Each structure stands twice: as structure tokens, then as C-alpha cells.
Amino acid sequence: MDKMGYLDLASKLGLRSDDLLFIASDIKQLALDCKATGTHFDTNAFIASFQEVLRSGTIIIPAYTDYLKDGGVFDHAKAKPSTGALSNRVMRMKDFVRSNDPLHSVLVWGQKAEEISNLNSKSTLGEHSVFDYMFKHKAKMVCIDVDFQDSLTFTHYVEEKEKVSYRKPYLWRMNRIMNGSSEQVELTFHTKKPWILTNLYGLQDDSAKDGVNQTFQHGASRIQFFDLCEMHDYILSYIKSGKKLYEVSFIHFFKSIAKRILGKS
């Protein structure tokens, strides 16, 4: 990789200028590649390289708050994303806006930014959520040095639509602080039952073998790139074929019960 190699990634994906792109990433390896060539990883330049390609398009970066609990507080302006360094750096960029979902907010730039930032879904993973929007608007997704296990939350949107037996809806009540005012909001979180652990490694490997998930190296980084509509159909057929997106762990179940009894959750 040459000194500016990380800025070439956007142009290698074959994107159209009006595409809607979801970026999930761990930028550590890209930064290490830069260090090895005596340069510094520049977040602004990295994002600008995608903005140049997507001149009439839209960029979405996750800003989820996985650490929040039922009854918690989501401060729209201050709640730190749990989705990595890129999310936290982009959150400081003035040309990105944050959507208002307390659990699965996203940072958005471009043509659809206002529309996405104003989404108001009663289900954080379901109809009218950002995942539903990306499916209906034929978004594409790139995973940079992250496995599906840590990035493909979109899987749970498909599971909710399919009403899978190993996940169920829970009603969460949260306090959302936005623009100087506070409001109580209710949302449904369709999440796994206590003895279920998500396992997306099989889906990742099989979708790559079947050509839905385009996987390649960029320097020392592993890139996965795919159309979310195609991945939606692949996940659906994966579920219907009897393949598992989860594993059962009663040890995990009993640990979670113990934490509740001890008041640690």
C-alpha cells in the first residue's frame, strides 16, 4: 500500500455517485498501515474520500449506544457511540447529523441526511427504523476490519420481520434529551431471549462463499462489501433453510439471572 492507500478504498468499491452507503469499521489497522509508511491516519480526509465518490449520495455511520438500559437516558448531543473510534470522531464533524433513536442512532451526511435523522420508529430494529429505511432504499454496506458478529445489526431487522422464535419484543421506556428539552419515549426492542447468543460467523462465511458478500484485502485490512437488499434475501433464505444465526447457552442465562439478583445489571 502506498502512503495514501487508505484514501483509495472508496473508489475501489464501485459505488455510484447517488448510492446510500453504511460504513461499519475498525480503523486501527488502517491507522497502523499509515504509521508503517510514516504518515498519520486523517479521519477528515478518509470521510472526504467517500464524500467525493458519493457526491449525490448519502453516508451512514453507526452511533449506537449499546450500554444504555431500559429506563436510561439518551442525551442526543452527548451520548458517546459504542461503535468505535470512527463513529466518535465523525460525531464531532459539523456536516454530519445524528438520528434520534436512543439505542440505534446513526450519523448521516448527504442527500438523505435530513430524512434519516428525522426517522421516528416505535421499534428500534423494525418498521420505520434506519434498518428498514436502508432496506427500502437499496443501501450498500462496507465492513472494514469488523466481523458480521460486531457489525451486521441489520440481521436483527430481518429476524424481527420473520418473527423468529428465539427473539422477542421488549418495551423500553427511556428519557431522550434533544435540543435542550427532555421527553419520555417508548420503543420496542426485539432482542434475543436470555439463553440465546448471537452467532453470525456462519452467515459471514457462507455469504462470502456464495458471492453475496464481496471480500477482499486493502493493504492489511479485510474489506467486506455487499448490497443490503441482497443480504436481506440471503439472511431470509438462511433462516428458512434451518441454518442458525445463534447458539444456546444456559450458562449465559444463569449468569444473567445471577447479575439481576445481585443488582449488577
Domain boundaries, the chain: 5-193+201-243
Angle between the N-to-C axes of helices 154-162 and 228-240, in degrees from 0 to 180, rounded to the nearest 10: 50
Instruction: Label each residue of 186-253 as H, E or C.
Output: EEEEEEECCCEEECCHHHHHHHHHCCCCEEEEECCEEEEEEEHHHHHHHHHHHHHCCCCCEEECHHHH
Distances (CA, A) of 1 to 33, 177, 220, 224: 8, 44, 9, 18
Task: Give the CA distances from residue 136 to residues 123, 130, 139, 232, in Å, rounded to whole numbers and listed in that order.
Answer: 16, 10, 8, 11
- H/E element holding 260? helix 250-262
Closest CA to 29 of 218, 265, 200, 238: 218
From first to last of the 265 residues of the chain, give the pLDDT tens digit. 344 489 999 999 999 999 999 999 999 999 999 999 889 999 999 999 999 999 999 999 999 999 999 999 999 999 999 999 999 999 999 999 999 999 999 999 999 999 999 999 999 999 999 999 999 999 999 999 999 999 999 999 999 999 999 999 999 999 999 999 999 999 999 999 989 999 999 999 999 999 999 999 998 999 999 999 999 999 999 999 999 999 998 776 566 666 666 655 4
> What are the φ/ψ torsions at residue 229 (nearest 5 degrees)?
-65, -40
For the chain, helix, strand, coil in percent to 5 are 35, 25, 40
Residue that is written with C-alpha cell 440471503 in the block = 234
Site of grid cell 455510484: 16
Residue 261's pLDDT is 62
pLDDT at 2: 41
pTM of the model: 0.92
Count CB neighbours of 262 within 10 A. 8
Q: What is the pLDDT of residue 256?
A: 65
CA 206, CA 161: separation in Å to the nearest integer? 22
In whole angstroms, give the CA distance from residue 205 to residue 90. Answer: 30
Q: Residue 258 has what pLDDT?
A: 67
